[in-house]
Amino acid sequence: MLFNSMAYAAFLPIVFIVYWAIPHRFRWPVLLAASCYFYMSWNAKYIVLILFTTLVSYTAARLLGRCGSKRQKQWVLFGAAALCLGVLVIFKYAGFLLGNFYAALSAFGIHPHPVTVSLMLPVGISFYTFQTLSYVIDVYRGEIPAEKHFGIYATFVSFFPQLVAGPIERTANLLPQLRKEHFFDADKALCGAKRMLWGFFKKLVIADNLAPFVDMVYADVTSYYGVDFAIVIVFFSVQIYCDFSGYSDIAVGTAKLLGIDLMTNFKSPYLSASIREFWSRWHISLSTWFRDYVYIPLGGNRCSGLRHKANLLATFLLSGLWHGASWNFVAWGGLHGLAQVMQASIPHRGGYPVAKALSCGG
């Protein structure tokens, strides 16, 4: 179910009315049922994947509280990460990995009969996998307690406004709000409705009208010349921003209608003064995820200068791969990583410190 569909236009008012009409103790089941229906409208059988990831992460977090040693906790964390990421790898990266494996064999003169993998990519799998991983890691670190109520935790994982395209919410922000009793606030609901309208405007009026021009040029690059590419690059930059940030605005606005606050995912990234500042404003929930769960565990900037640069580059390479299972995405991440490394080499004189390159964004 797309946000910009008639099905969603009918779905959301029903959820809104039922949610506010019933007592607080029945609201999480309504949100969970609505979220499951929302997701199953894409492909009903893939609800099993969310259920599996939810069960694994929930069970792992509960086990962490019962572990008697750090080694036991590490094994539980490793097992949960392997299972959750395993599902992501199978459905998103299996074809990419196999293709490169056969290419490597061919380079050595080995030509086995290739096995092809053709799996439909489940909608939102990258987002809810990262959200469950951050939950287990936070419990492992002792930053939050394990959630005992499976139903509320399942609602946290599958919360429909941010399930498909983020923002990737943190447990400390979203989970307590699902437990808290909310009272209808007309001003907050109006704010949410305005945020949704702004998101629909960016998506439907700007992004969707620029898309045909962008697709036309990129589909036949030999028929166009320098100025055409200059224009279409600008168009594509506006299109991708309005498309992605528009979806985030709709998600944030929808949640506000239900009395829930989601994090801001974009902060005028194209007004940035540097590539470092750009990544503090673009896709903030993802860049902060990579900061907290990849960059800092690798050592962040609390290490030698060479190691720090390697940490930056590795983080952006992984970020590129997260965006898509192909080498062009890895190269894209690498280019941004190299830009960060170059800027990190310049003595800091105010503005955004290196750590902020991975602290905000959308």
Q: Which positions are annotated as active-site residues?
A: 323
Tokens standing for residue 156: 């946290």
Are 50 and 128 in contact, with CB atoms under 8 Å apart? yes
The torsion region of residue 114 among left (phi > 0), alpha (psi -120 to 50) and beta comes to: beta
C-alpha 82/C-alpha 61 separation (Å) is: 14
Distant-in-sequence, close-in-space partners of 224: CB < 8 Å, separation ≥ 6: 217, 232
User: What is the distance between the terminal CA atoms of the chain, rounded to a whole angstrom?
Assistant: 23
Contacts of 103 (CB under 8 A, 6+ apart): none
Residue 41 buriedness (CB in 10 A; 0-12 / 13-18 / 19+): middle
| Of 98, 263, 295, 96, nearest in space to 167 by CA | 263
Q: How far, rounded to the nearest angstrom, does the alpha carbon of residue 356 sit from its chain's CA centroid? A: 19
Compute CA distances 121 → 13, 125, 127, 313, whole Å.
29, 8, 12, 27
